[in-house]
Amino acid sequence: MSLPPEKASELKQIIHNHLLKMDIHGKIREVLAEVVKDEGGSAHQSLSEADLLRALHRRGIIDDVMKDLPFTQVDQPHAEHSKIEAQPSQKTATHFADKDITQLKKSNVDPSKRYLYLQVLGGKAFLEHLHEPESLPGQVCSTFTLYVHFRNQRFRSKPVPCACEPDLKEGFLLEIHRDSFGEGTKMADATAMLSICDRVHLVLIKTDTSNETTLISSYFVDWRAVLSSPSGKTCFAVELMGVGSEFKVPAGVLTVSLELYPPLVETLSSDVISTQQSLERQRTAEKEKLFLVYAKQWWREFLEIRPSHKSKMVKIFAQDENGINRPVCSFVRVLRAGRLLESPRQAARFVSLLAYEKAPVVGGGGGKQEQWCTLMAFLCGGKGDCEDHATLLCSLLLGFGLDAYVCVGTKAKGVPHTWVLTRGTDGSITFWESLTAHRYLHQPIDSDAPPLAPQPKPSSPYRTVGCVFNHQTFLANCQPTDAVELCVFDLQNQSRWKAMSEEALRSVCAPGSTASLPPLPPLCAPTLDPAATSNQMELEMRYLVSEHRKDLGLATVWDDHLSYLLSSALSAYELERCSGVSCGNEEFQDAVRRAVPDGHTFKGFPIHFLHCNARRAFATCLKSPFCEEIVCCRGDHMRLAVRVRVFVYPENACAVWLMFACKYLSIL
């Protein structure tokens, strides 16, 4: 590899800064200086990578360099990020190397761009894990994983055992200017970087031994303090706060180091930076105050229409995981999934695969904890409440060009609920249930029709609707009744729907409108291998079935051909969930008839899961009498079959289809 002469000095500076972080930096600097002196005599001659590698090899330190300075990248092409990690030789390697990673490769550093190197140097004061026993090598234990998002780039750390002082030591190379932001490839100077108010979003997730995740903390780091450092490097402690009802309780402390590559020629004074941050906070506070004043006036006008409006489910503000009240419209953005999702229905299927979990509440009382998660926290945890699912689905449907809105209302027994509505160009209204991907065509009952006139039957599970909103519209239902079956979704009709000012909403909800607005993260491509995961889970399932039958004193004979035939049925089931169209069942039935001899009986039991834990899945299957009948089947010429198909979606969301089957000779 060679570089133009005008880029050589910039590359040398970047390499020099990385080598300073290693215990063997002295030896490497000597070799680098020697090679530069020997090879760089001419102004028109480039220093090649091969020359440097040969010099390092001659000194016998090439192996140490590769061991202590791994340049690795997690293969997530959609996120378009690279990851460089450089740690001292006494520290463990920092690349993420669990089974989810399909490829680790070198990362290319563009010397014409500015980078922010964020290092996490360790954690402390995670008092909830003060008495956590030290994990033994090879022992399964609860782990912490740190996720990072900055300007369309997403990273994650390797998982480390939970402890009072967790060994979270990672490095992330963040590109400050991104092509996707229209900034081209220019080198960002101090003034340009000062105007970038995007913060680094850190999300800490705990994963327990049964692979259940818990959101520990969600924190935003303002990185611009590094612009005033003469050395281009700063180090500070970050106090992570809890989430939900514990947002005022410290969760732990991370030591964070920030460094610019290449360093600034001219730094800014700390007063300039603090003044800029103060101005941004004042501007944000002023916009939020003005919107609050407007929202109160709008609400008073809404109540004056009818006194009964006070009891309607009109949700203007919602509290995020950090206890911050934000307009609900700010939770919805236009989100395009690139090549990761191909259609709106596939997007609905993906959202439904993210687990449903109500916000945890400490203690009893049955009250519902208020928590609408930011998209980054929702995606990293892989589970959330119905509001999180609905806002994500609405964002994806908007990305696919649909006229989509989030509905806030109730379902059966008055339980609060949120779902998604889309309007067709022909005026048709479709409800989307984000937790199941089911779709319902809405046909309102005509209350003015004669008593004997035929009326459409309600097809959806929703009972009332108080308001609908998306990223730029908020509408409250001011019809005489909020019953869904009687509602007319003519959203332009001001006598039926009271709208908020779009200009007022833009002032606090549009991207970049306020410094406090969380940035929109991109979806990440899956890293799981569906074939390998399916095979592994199927082998585990065969072992569990064999052991279960052995405990009952039964032998187990597997029919590999019958197991293979079950694949087409599982594929058809997933296709039906995605598209709503059933196909391929005739071929499966014909293949089974050919595989089962005359006089034999065939039984099959399909089931669907959102996880890849074979033991949990098998325990759930045995709760069904139909499955237990197959697994514990006795008979002449009895053969068993099992097939597992794992369908992988973005964010490693999995649809796991499992089918048990048996055939045996029928005896009268």
Q: 535-569, pLDDT tens digit by residue?
A: 999 999 999 999 999 999 999 999 999 999 999 99
Q: Which two tokens stand for residue 466?
A: 């108080």
Interior CA angle at 145 toward 144 and 150, to 5°? 145
pLDDT at 452 over 90: no
What Å distances lie between residue 254 and 167, 205, 413, CA to CA?
10, 14, 45
Average pLDDT of span 21-35: 61
* CA atoms of 236 and 119, how far apart (whole Å): 11
Among 25, 17, 28, 26, residue whose Cα is nearest residue 52: 28
Residue 47: which region, alpha, beta or left (left: phi > 0; alpha: psi -120 to 50)? Answer: beta
Radius of gyration, alpha carbons of the chain: 29
**pLDDT digit string (tens) for 649-658?**
999 999 999 9
Nearest to 319 by CA among 394, 391, 408, 243: 243
- What pLDDT score was predicted for residue 118? 96
Segment 640-650, tens digit of pLDDT: 999 999 999 99
Q: How far apart are the C-alpha atoms of 37 and 413, rounded to whole Å? A: 80
Give pLDDT tens digits for 181-207: 666 556 778 888 999 999 999 999 999
Distance CA 614, CA 443 (A): 43
Q: pLDDT at position 81, please?
A: 40
Per-range mean pLDDT, top range of 63-67, 187-191, 471-475: 471-475
**Element (DSSP H or E) covering residue 542:** helix 530-551
Strand, helix or coil for residue 248 = coil
Q: How many Å is the maximal CA-CA distance in the chain?
A: 98
- Which pLDDT band, with edges at 50, 70 and 90, does 245 fall under? confident
Q: How far is CA 624 from CA 192, 215, 605, 630, in A?
A: 62, 32, 10, 10
**Residues contacting residue 264 through CB under 8 Å, at least 6 positions apart:** 189, 190, 227, 232
The Cα 421–Cα 415 span in angstroms is: 18
Least confident of 30-44, 125-139, 302-316, 339-353: 30-44
**Looking at residues 68-97, what average pLDDT do you find?**
38
List pLDDT tens digits, range 386-435.
Answer: 999 999 999 999 999 999 999 999 998 889 999 999 999 998 999 999 99
182 φ, ψ (degrees, to nearest 5): 75, 25
Place of tokens 């400490």: 362
DSSP three-state, residue 642:
strand
Q: How confident is the model at residue 88 (pLDDT cuts 50, 70, 90)?
A: very low
User: Looking at residue 429, what is its pLDDT?
Assistant: 94
Mean pLDDT of the chain: 84
- The CATH H-level superfamily of 95-268 is C2 domain (2.60.40.150)
pLDDT grade for 361, boundaries at 50, 70 and 90: low
Segments making up each domain of the chain, as ranges: 95-268, 278-358+370-445+455-509, 530-665
Give the per-residue pLDDT at 112.
80
Q: Which CATH number is associated with domain 278-358+370-445+455-509? A: 3.10.620
- 609-618 pLDDT per residue, tens: 999 999 999 9
Q: Does residue 450 or residue 421 have the better pLDDT? A: 421
581 neighbors 659 (Cβ within 8 angstroms): no
Q: 398 in helix, strand or coil?
A: helix
pLDDT at 95: 35
Q: 209 pLDDT band (50/70/90 cuts)? A: confident
What is the CATH number assigned to the segment(s) 530-665?
3.40.33.10
Within 176-254, residue ranges assigned H as helices are: 190-194
Q: Where are the beta strands (DSSP E) in 139-274?
A: 143-150, 153-156, 160-161, 169-175, 200-207, 213-221, 233-241, 250-261
Evaluated on CA atoms 519, 512, 120, 96, the torsion sign reads positive
Other C-beta atoms within 10 Å of 490: how many? 15
**CB atoms closer than 10 angstroms to residue 236:** 12
pLDDT in tens, 95-118: 333 444 434 445 567 788 889 999
The residue assigned the tokens 């939770």 is: 331
Higher pLDDT, 187 or 338: 338
The predicted model scores a pTM of 0.81
Dist CA 180 CA 284 (whole Å): 25
Buried b / exposed e across 53-62, counting CB within 10 Å, b at 16+?
Answer: eebbeeeebe
**DSSP secondary structure letter of residue 5:** H
Q: Is the pLDDT of residue 94 over 80?
A: no
> What average pLDDT does range 6-33 have in this prediction?
58
Which pLDDT does position 103 carry in this prediction?
45
DSSP for 166-194, written as a single string: ---EEEEEEESS-GGGT-TTPPP-HHHHH
What local confidence, expressed as pLDDT, does residue 28 receive?
Answer: 64
List CB contacts of 48: < 8 A, sequence separation 6 or more: 1, 2, 39
Q: Which comes out higher in pLDDT, residue 396 or 58? A: 396
Calculate the CA dihedral of residues 455, 461, 463, 467 and round it to 10 degrees.
-110
C-alpha to C-alpha distance for 385 and 285, rounded to whole angstroms: 29
Instruction: Note whether 541 and 534 are within 8 A (CB).
Output: no
Give the whole-angstrom CA distance, residue 283 versus residue 299.
24
DSSP 8-state code for residue 157: P
In this predicted structure, the answer to whether residue 93 has a pLDDT above a threshold of 50 is no
How confident is the model at residue 86, as a pLDDT? Answer: 36
Measured CA to CA in angstroms, residue 20 lies from 26, 85, 120 at distances of 8, 13, 17
Q: Which two tokens stand for residue 313?
A: 């489910």
Q: How far apart are CA 116 and CA 322, in angstroms?
A: 26
pLDDT in tens, 125-157: 999 888 777 766 767 889 999 999 999 999 999
pLDDT reported for residue 457: 77
Nearest to 254 by CA among 133, 173, 172: 172
**Does 302 have pLDDT greater than 60?**
yes
Residue 41 has a pLDDT of 45
Size of the chain in residues: 668
Band of the pLDDT at 79, cuts 50, 70, 90? very low
Provide the residue type at 466 as one letter.
G
**Is the model's pLDDT at 241 over the cut of 80?**
yes
Residues paired with residue 217 on neighbouring β-strands, in sequence order: 204
Instruction: Kindly report the backbone phi and psi dihedral angles of residue 12, in degrees, each rounded to the nearest multiple of 5, phi listed first.
Output: -60, -40
Whole-angstrom Cα distance, residue 215 to residue 203? 8
Which of 126-140, 232-246, 277-291, 517-531 bottoms out in mean pLDDT, i.e. has the lowest? 126-140
Element (H, E) at 120: strand 115-124
Residue 155 pairs in a beta bridge with 148
Give the orientation angle of helix 585-595 with respect to helix 560-579, to 10 degrees. Answer: 170
What pLDDT band is residue 472 in, cutting at 50, 70 and 90? very high
Q: 492-542: per-residue pLDDT in tens? A: 999 999 999 999 999 999 888 888 889 899 999 999 999 999 999 999 999
